[in-house]
């Protein structure tokens, strides 16, 4: 009886996310975007923790183009729409000479990542979603590319 009650209590207890986000690729390109949200309930679990942009064609150990850290205030978000402030003063975004989508990182003002996802319609780990990445240069010129993403969700 005690075992049954314990199993029932565990089954009814809420699961918390150990990892939450998206892993995306740009179609016909080597660009990858990974978005990981905070899993700390005290600051909010839908708060972006880190966004990593990498190029799979680059040599091993040098694939990362830029890392945006939410704690440094360079990421703002609304749902699954993320705006990345390309601020070269911060570690992870200082590689200004790196090429990203045909432009040097040093000439970009911001990068937008919009994923067609709503927290009102949860998806399981690995579910496919689509999105767009937008690159805005310092002169205001913008370009965008389509994203093919998979939901990344690990439960405790």
What percentage of the chain exceeds 90 in pLDDT?
42
Of 13 and 117, the structure prediction assigns the larger pLDDT to 117
What pLDDT is stored for residue 9 in this prediction? 35
Ramachandran region, residue 46 (left: φ > 0; alpha: ψ -120 to 50; beta: rest):
alpha
What percentage of the chain exceeds 70 in pLDDT?
81
Q: What does the pLDDT average to over 86-113?
A: 82
What pLDDT is stored for residue 10 in this prediction? 33
Of 105 and 90, the structure prediction assigns the larger pLDDT to 105
What pLDDT is stored for residue 27 in this prediction? 82
Q: What does the pLDDT average to over 115-132?
A: 93
Q: Give me the chain's average pLDDT, please.
A: 82
Of 44 and 5, the structure prediction assigns the larger pLDDT to 44
Of 23 and 42, the structure prediction assigns the larger pLDDT to 23
């Amino acid at each position: 009886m005690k075992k049954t009650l314990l199993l029932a209590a565990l089954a009814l207890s809420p699961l918390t996310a150990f990892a939450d986000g998206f892993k995306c690729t740009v179609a016909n390109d080597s660009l990858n975007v990974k978005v990981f949200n905070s899993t700390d309930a005290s600051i909010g679990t839908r708060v972006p923790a880190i966004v990593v942009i990498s190029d799979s064609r680059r040599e091993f150990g040098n694939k990362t183009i830029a890392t945006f850290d939410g704690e440094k205030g360079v990421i703002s978000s609304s749902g699954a729409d993320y705006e990345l402030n390309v601020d070269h003063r911060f570690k992870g975004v200082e590689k200004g000479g790196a090429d990203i989508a045909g432009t040097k990182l040093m000439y970009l003002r911001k990068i937008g990542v919009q994923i067609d996802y709503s927290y009102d319609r949860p998806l399981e780990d690995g579910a496919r979603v689509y999105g767009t990445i937008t690159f805005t240069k310092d002169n205001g010129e913008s370009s965008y590319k389509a994203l093919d993403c998979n939901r990344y969700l690990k439960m405790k």
